[in-house]
Amino acid sequence: MAESTVLITLVGMALVTYIPRLIPAWFLRDKHLPAFLIAWLRYVPVAVLAALLLPSLLVEGDQINFSTTNLYVWAAIPAGLVAWKKKSLFGTVIIGMLVVAILRWIIS
């Protein structure tokens, strides 16, 4: 692939990523948002993360795997508890990875 194509692609990706974030920040920088809107916006990252994670936890191939053999669902339970109690992304990821590793070690 030509260097110019790579450079154009990188610049295009940067624009597509930052412009949707920058425009609202510019328009809202001197404005005060209502309290209910600020409270509602705090849930957006959690909702997006849940929407990204849930399919990877439950979908295996072309069907939903909600059985007891799904290691990721078992790992999501203690990881969710750690996230809820400790509010630590690092701790949540570590617990989830440890549970999957331990369950794979026990099963195999």
For residue range 67-106, what is the model confidence (pLDDT) as tens digits?
A: 888 889 999 999 999 999 998 989 999 999 999 999 999 9
Q: What is the pLDDT of residue 12?
A: 96
User: Is the CB of residue 71 less than 8 Å from the CB of residue 38?
Assistant: no
In the three-class reduction of DSSP (H, G, I as helix; E, B as strand; rest coil), residue 60 is classed as: strand
In the three-class reduction of DSSP (H, G, I as helix; E, B as strand; rest coil), residue 47 is classed as: helix
User: Is the CB of residue 57 less than 8 Å from the CB of residue 72?
Assistant: yes
In the three-class reduction of DSSP (H, G, I as helix; E, B as strand; rest coil), residue 32 is classed as: coil
Per-residue pLDDT, averaged over 28-44, amounts to 92
**pLDDT at 23 exceeding the cut of 90:** yes
* pTM of the shown model: 0.62
